[in-house]
Amino acid sequence: MGLFRKIRSIFHENWCNLCQSEMDVLHKQLYALPDLTVGHYSSHENPEYYLKHLVPVEKKAQIPAGIYACGLHSYRCPQCENRRVQLTIFLPVREEEKTEEILFFDHGELDGLIYQQDCARADVKQKNRRRQDSYECKQGGFYDYE
Beta bridge partners of 31: 56, 70
User: In terms of Cα–Cα distance, which of 85, 105, 67 is closest to 26?
Assistant: 85
pLDDT digits (tens, 9 = 90+) for 34-75: 988 888 888 888 999 999 999 999 988 899 889 999 999 999
Residue spans of the domains in the chain: they are 22-139
CB 105 within 8 A of CB 47: yes
CB 33 within 8 A of CB 89: yes
Cα–Cα–Cα angle for 46, 73, 13, nearest 5°? 90
CB 119 within 8 A of CB 106: no
pLDDT digits (tens, 9 = 90+) for 89-110: 999 988 888 999 999 898 888 8
What are the distances in angstroms from CA 46 to CA 6, 79, 91, 113? 27, 29, 20, 14
142 has a pLDDT exceeding 60: no
CB 23 within 8 A of CB 77: yes
Q: Where in 2-66 does DSSP place strands (E)?
A: 24-37, 55-57
